[in-house]
Each structure stands twice: as C-alpha cells, then as structure tokens.
Structure 1
C-alpha cells in the first residue's frame, strides 16, 4: 500500500534488457533506502515494483513485459528521473489517498501552463501508447471526476478541471520541488491509477442499473 505522497526523485542508473523484461537499477537519494529489504515494495512513477537487489541507496527492480507495455517504464532510460515512495507501514499518516501501485493506463501531456500562481498540466486520456485496445480509454474516464482523487506517476492529486477526454491538475511549488512534474513536456506519458473507492462505487452503481434494465 502507498499513500500517494511522493518522497522524492531518484535517477535511473541503467536499464538492462532481460528477454522481454527489463531490470532497472535506480540510484536513490542518500539514506532514503535505509533498512530496505529484498522483496519489499517501492512505487516507481506509481508502479509497485519488488526490490530484487540492494546496494546501499542503489536498488534494482525487475519489470515484466506487461508492465513495460502498460506504463511509462517501457520508455524509461538511463539518467531519467522518477518519482518514488516506499511502501507505507501500519500506523503511517495517509496524507494523500490509499493507492495500490496498480496502474490502469498511461496518459499523455497535452498542455503545460502557468495560471496565476499555479502550475497546471492537462492530460489527454484517449491515447494509450503501447496498448491496442482503445476500450481501456473509456474505462479510465468513467472513474475520473472534477475534484476527484487521481494517482499520477505515484502522486495523489485532485482533478481541478475535466473534459470529455482530458483531465487537468494544478500543482503547488512543494509538489513541483519533490516530483518530476516540473520536468514534463507535451507528449510525455504519465502513469494513471484511479481511486479504488471511486472504481468500486462506479462499478456497483452500473451493475445495479444494468440488473434493473436501465441503460447507461
């Protein structure tokens, strides 16, 4: 489990192809991986990955082909920066919202702008690069609402505006300092995790309506 409060940025040291899979070696900030253990979970750009090797603050992860196709980890390369969060412990403060690290899809930056004192990024939710089935696009938008929670590259954020096939977020300076959002350009892909409570509510309501013969 993760809280969606990104703990900082780390730098990819190397990406090694392993058949259809990939091994990522990531250099984390000093002391950020203290007492890290093999088999533990770390969210990298919001993707829950398992620690396969630990060398002080240098940690390795093996990423399977499905994850590479579904998320922006498939395009990651050495020297890239990523958001990270260590798995939450029982009793930790949940400052964002509960997240699993299971990504629904990757969405694309369509606009970056400054408005008044806020830094705004708009994402189009219709292009799922790496996937051939566009039906997943519709599924993602079903669970996204104005002022609703959304997980983007592992960060718990609130949707400040929404259209037919896009969402927009507004970022404060502290979030920009700790995360990679300030490095994003138009066309970049960001991992999206929907709020599990929202998904459960939407799916339940739709199932009940369908059982009653009410078309959606």
Structure 2
C-alpha cells in the first residue's frame, strides 16, 4: 500500500530483456535507499514493483509481460525518469490517499494549460468505460501521484498542479500525447461497482 506522495525521482540506467522478463535498473536518490532491501515494494510511476537487487545507488526490478502491457513502463528508455515511493508503514502520515500500486488504466495527455500559478493537464482515459470512476473533486493517482480531479467532460478530465507537485515529480516534464499510468480511488471503485450490481438486480 502507498499514499501517492512521491518521495523522489529515479533515472532508468539499464535495461535487460529476456523472453519472459524485462529487468530495469534505476539510479535512486541516496536518501531513498535507507533501509531498502531486496523483496521490498517500490512504486515506479505508481506501479508496485519488487526490489530484486541493490548495488550502491542502483536498484533492480523485474517486469513481466502483464506489467509491460498495462502500464507506461513498457515505453521507458534509458535516461527516462519515474516517480518513486516506498511502501507505506503504519506510522507514516497519509498525506495523499490509500493507493494499491495496481495500475487500472492509462491515459493520454491531450492539453496542457500553463498560466501564472495555474498549471492544468487534461487527459483522455484509454478505456472509456472506466471513466465512470472519475468524479469532480474525487481522488485519482497519475504516475504514482495522489491528485484531485478538476473538471470532468464527456471525453476528458483534468487535474490542477501546484508548483510543489511540478518540482517534485515528473509531471512538469510531460508533453501532449505522453502516456501516464492511472489508478482510480479504491473506495470510489467499490461504491460505483456495488451500485451498478444493485441496480442490475432491481
């Protein structure tokens, strides 16, 4: 479980491809590595991955085909950067919202509105049927970042980003047509699915 509060940015250093598994080695910030061990979970762009090896500042993760198909990790190249977060502990402050690390969809950035003190990203979800989980002022996780949904239109939705978010995450480096990982708020998803089942029976 994670909180959606990004703790750092990691750079992809090396890629090893085999038939069934792709291994990524990221260069991590030194401050992020304290206490990190093999077997621990780290969210990479919001996707929960297991640490397989640690050598100095370099941390390895294995990605299976399902992960590559369902996330934007498949399109990473050496030198690309991802948002990272350690798994939450019971003593941690929950500054965002509960995040599972299971990517449920991807979205494409369609518009970026950059005005003074008002940076807004508009997105189009890849599976339209899943848009039912997106509500005005509801929680959503984009590339591992806990955010609040702004406007919702028939085809798009937007999030408003403060300077702190832009400086501490990779979202400020995104451009139109870039793909991002999406995780819907778990509580919202449960409520929507439950209501649909009840209505279907009535």
**TM-score category (smaller protein):** over 0.9
| Cα distance in 2, alignment partners of residues 93 and 17 from structure 1 | 38
Unaligned runs of 5+ in 1: 128-136
Task: Establish whether residue 189 from structure 1 lines up as the match of residue 179 from structure 2.
Answer: yes
Q: Which moved more, 1:140-149 or 1:15-24?
A: 15-24
Q: Within 1, Cα distance between the matches of 2:32 and 2:17?
A: 26
Is structure 2 residue 131 aligned with structure 1 residue 141?
A: yes
SS of the aligned residue for 1:159 comes to strand
Q: TM-score, normalised by structure 2?
A: 0.97
Q: Could you say what the CA RMSD is over the residues aligned between the two structures, in angstroms?
A: 1.0
Note the 1:47-196 alignment, pairs <5 A: 47-125=47-125, 127=126, 137-196=127-186
Whole-Å separation in 2 of the counterparts to 1:156 and 1:178: 13
Note if 1:210 corresponds to 2:173: no
Q: What residue in structure 2 maps to residue 134 of structure 1?
A: none
Count of residue pairs the alignment pairs up: 202
For the 8 Å contact 2:22–2:63, the answer to whether it is kept is yes
Conserved? CA contact 2:44–2:84, under 8 Å = yes
SS where residue 53 of structure 1 aligns? strand
Runs (4+) off by over 2 Å = none
State the partner residue of 1:37. Answer: 37
Q: Is the 8 A contact 2:8 2:169 kept in 1?
A: yes
CA deviation string 1:165-185 (max 9, x = no partner): 211011001100110001101
Residue segments in structure 2 that go unaligned for 5+ positions in a row: none
